[in-house]
């Protein structure tokens, strides 16, 4: 056996014994790498006579090809074996009966937020957002609620903890979605038409109050936007939301520091047999606060009140959900009781749209 046959036998044996890709790579480097045994032999060709060079050169090339082919074949074989091993463990018994997945539902609050968003989007309102931990300035000052204003107490505010020596201005859990009015106007200026749905917080807890609840803010600023526009938008909204043709709204003069004039809005309803019906009867149910945005509010958001005007409103989303879907107790909204969620929840793929129907 000549020297090349010895080399060939050695490498083919090693390749056959290699157990993984890493050892194959080591063998490749030892034989064919830059400083590999066969590469070094190739370099010796230069010192040979032309005849020697021809035969040895050809033999070396053949050897190189053979080793290369053996490496590849072994690599494929190893990969096949690995796949076989995996398939042997990942088998599936197709005769097993199907297991039902746990089924979740969309929470009525999420559903109503989607419905409200769809209706206002149809009227040209975009969705704006703001933080739930809000600075005192956005939540109060910018909305014309001065530091001594009683509204600060009325709002039952949760204050974030601050060390006595902390120089930063105080932060609160926002008590309403109205600070998003300021943020949206600062960002976009006027004209603007946005709604801002989201969570708000007040230190309050009974059958009809939870310390965390949901509101949707509305804001429309333009050159000549009036109370009449506000009334039309809200009536249009209620017709679409409650899915009844004859809604009747009652505007009651009220007071908010951030609107002038201000109105609370009630909707006509009946409570016959404990069943709520919207649009008929002799009862009135308060559903929102609203008014013309106060010039000082426009000013603090960087919008010139001599040039722009418009309306704002704020509605309780949980309240809307209770009214529309006949849910009697607000506290159940936040108890995560699966039986309640299955009863009042909505199918995940039923996305409410104005054209396709809002509910069910
Ligand atoms: N922010 C008010 C509240 O939480 C509602 C409101 C919003 C009133 C916008 C007027 C205008 O009670």
Q: What is the residue with the minimal CA distance to atom 7 of ligand 1?
A: 314
Residue among 239, 220, 200 at smallest CA distance from 318: 200
Alpha-carbon distance of 243 to 197, in angstroms, equals 21
pLDDT, one tens digit per residue, over 174-212 is 999 999 999 999 999 999 999 999 999 998 777 777 899
* Ligand 1 geometric centre to CA of 271 (Å): 26
Among candidate residues 89, 118, 153, the one where a domain is terminated: 89
Tokens of 127: 């969705």
The SS3 call for residue 275 is coil
Let me know if residue 74 belongs to a domain: yes
Confirm whether 305 is domain-assigned.
Answer: yes
pLDDT confidence of residue 312: 98
Name the residue of 258, 298, 318 whose CB sits within 8 Å of the most ligand 1 atoms, as the mutation to test its pocket.
Answer: 258
Among 43, 59, 89, where does a domain finish? 89
Rounded to whole angstroms, the Cα distance separating 297 from 140 reads 10
Determine, yes or no, domain membership for 45: yes
Q: How far apart are CA 199 and CA 265, in angstroms?
A: 21
User: In angstroms, rounded to a whole number, what is the distance separating the alpha carbons of residues 14 and 37?
Assistant: 14
Q: Which domain holds residue 226?
A: 107-347
pLDDT of res. 352 = 74
| Residue 307: DSSP 8-state | T
Which residues in the chain land under pLDDT 50? none
CA–CA dist 289, 256 (Å, integer): 8
Phi, psi of 45 (to 5 degrees): -55, -35
Q: Both 182 and 37 in a single domain? A: no
Measured in Å, residue 288 CA sits from the centre of ligand 1 at 7
The pLDDT score that the predictor gives to residue 189 is 97
Using DSSP, state whether 81 is helix, strand or coil: helix
Helix, strand or coil for residue 141? helix
Q: Which of 138, 154, 174, 289 to mutate to test the pocket of ligand 1 (most atoms within 8 A of CB)?
A: 289
Q: In sequence order, what are the residues at sequence separation of 6 or more whose Cβ sits closer than 8 angstroms to the Cβ of residue 141?
A: 147, 300
* Residue where a domain terminates, one of 89, 117, 141: 89
List b or e across 155-181, with b for residues whose CB sees 16 or more CB atoms inside 10 angstroms.
bebbeeeeeeeeeeeebbbbbbbbbbb
Q: Is the pTM of this model over 0.75?
A: no
Whether 360 is covered by a domain: the verdict is: no
Report the distance separating Cα 170 and Cα 133, nearest Å.
10
Residues 68 and 130 in one domain: no
**Residue 199: which H helix or E strand, with range?**
strand 192-201
- List the helix and strand counts (H, then E) for the chain: 12, 10
The tally of domains found in the chain comes to 2
133 and 276: one domain? yes
- Asked whether residue 200 is assigned to any structural domain, the reply reads yes
Size of the chain, expressed as the number of residues it contains: 360
Give pLDDT, residue 1. Answer: 55
How many angstroms does the Cα of residue 153 sit away from the middle of ligand 1? 15
Q: How far apart are CA 353 and CA 119, in angstroms?
A: 8
């Amino acid at each position: 056996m000549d020297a090349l046959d010895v080399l060939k036998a050695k490498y083919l044996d090693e390749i056959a014994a290699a157990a993984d890709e890493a050892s194959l790579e080591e063998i490749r480097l030892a034989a064919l790498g830059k400083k590999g045994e066969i590469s070094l032999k190739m370099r010796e060709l230069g010192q040979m006579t032309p005849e020697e060079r021809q035969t040895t050169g050809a033999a070396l090339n053949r050897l190189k090809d053979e080793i290369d082919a053996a490496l590849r074949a072994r690599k494929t074989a190893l990969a096949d074996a690995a796949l076989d091993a995996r398939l042997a463990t990942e088998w599936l018994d197709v005769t097993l009966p199907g297991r039902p997945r746990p089924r979740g539902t969309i929470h009525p609050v999420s559903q109503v937020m989607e419905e409200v968003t769809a209706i206002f989007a149809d009227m040209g309102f975009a969705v704006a957002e703001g933080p739930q931990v809000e600075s005192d300035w956005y939540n109060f000052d910018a909305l014309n609620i001065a530091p001594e204003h009683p509204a600060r107490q009325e709002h039952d505010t949760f204050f974030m903890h601050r060390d006595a020596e902390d120089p930063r201005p105080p932060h609160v859990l926002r008590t309403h979605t109205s600070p998003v009015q300021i943020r949206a106007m600062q960002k976009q200026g006027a004209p603007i038409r946005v709604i801002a749905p989201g969570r708000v917080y007040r230190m309050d807890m009974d059958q009809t109050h939870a310390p965390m609840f949901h509101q949707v803010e509305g804001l429309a600023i333009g050159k000549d936007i009036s109370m009449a526009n506000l009334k039309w938008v809200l009536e249009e909204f209620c017709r679409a939301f409650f899915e009844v043709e004859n809604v009747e709204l009652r505007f009651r003069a009220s007071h908010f520091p951030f609107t002038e004039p201000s109105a609370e809005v009630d909707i006509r309803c009946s409570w016959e047999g404990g069943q709520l019906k919207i649009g008929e009867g002799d009862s009135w149910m308060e559903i929102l606060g609203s008014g013309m945005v106060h010039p000082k509010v426009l000013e603090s958001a960087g919008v010139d009140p001599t040039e722009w005007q418009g309306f704002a409103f704020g509605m309780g989303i949980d309240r809307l959900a209770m009214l529309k879907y006949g849910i009697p107790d607000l506290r159940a909204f936040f108890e995560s009781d699966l039986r309640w969620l299955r009863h009042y929840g909505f199918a995940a793929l039923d996305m409410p749209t104005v054209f396709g129907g809002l509910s069910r």
